Structure formats: structure tokens, C-alpha cells
Amino acid sequence: MSRARARQLRKTMTPQEVRLWSQLRHFNRQGFHFRRQVPIGRYIVDFAEFGQRLIIEVDGSQHGFEKGEAADRIRDEQLTLAGFRVLRFWNNDVDRNMDGVVDTVQAALPPSVSPGARPAEPPSPQGGRIKS
């Protein structure tokens, strides 16, 4: 898939994708960097965090039919073979249970402390030099 198509999809995200994107951006404070509508191989995924090899997809009702489910299975298998973990959420989940969606994403990420939240080390009496 082309970058131009991904760029177009970024401009026409679904309301649920927009809502989830606004939440995923908060993970930057923890040192994670999600990208939206990203080409990976022959697919364009809704969201990806490359450092953690995590993909998040937001699915509408078309994914609930047999053809959509089969295509999603193949897509997930290919992405898994490429080393990614795939989380899928229904539009309904994003609309009605955003806290649960965010909690699931958080659970899929390793614990981290954002650089700004780390406790400051006390200054060394030797001006930064370690006494040996």
C-alpha cells in the first residue's frame, strides 16, 4: 500500500479512530510513540507502536461478517509473522468503553516511566564525579 493512500486515510479517519488516537497520543508521556494509518507490508494498519511491535485496529461492523473475519485472520497472521502483536477493538468498544480499551493497550505495553517523571538524583558533593 502506498504512502499516499495512508496519508489520505489519516485525513479521513473514522470518529472512533479519531477518539482512540487522542488517547494513544497520551502514551508519548510514557515514552511510547504511536503512529496512525501506517503502511506495513501490503497493509495499512490503524495504529502502530514500532518500538513495541504493537498494532491496534479499530473495526467497524463490516469486520463481523464471514468475509471480513476471514480477511482479518489472514491479515493478523501475516502481521504476527512479521513480528507484531495485534489488538483489535470494535467501534462499539471505543464508543462505550474507552477506559477499557486504554487499559487493554496499557496492559500490552511494558511498564515504563516517562523521562519527566523520574525522581531526580541528589547532586553529588563531588560535582558529578564519582569518588573511588
Give helix 15-24 / helix 98-108 axis angle, nearest 10°. 50
Return the domain boundaries, the chain.
Answer: 3-109
Using DSSP's 3-state secondary structure scheme, residue 102 falls into helix
Check residue 72 and give its pLDDT. Answer: 79
Q: Could you tell me the pLDDT band of residue 67, with boundaries at 50, 70 and 90?
A: low
Task: Tell me the pTM.
Answer: 0.74
Residue with cell 485496529: 57
Give the pLDDT of residue 46. Answer: 93
Mean per-residue pLDDT over the chain, rounded: 80
pLDDT (average), residues 4-26 = 82
Q: In the CATH hierarchy, which top-level class contains the domain 3-109?
A: alpha beta
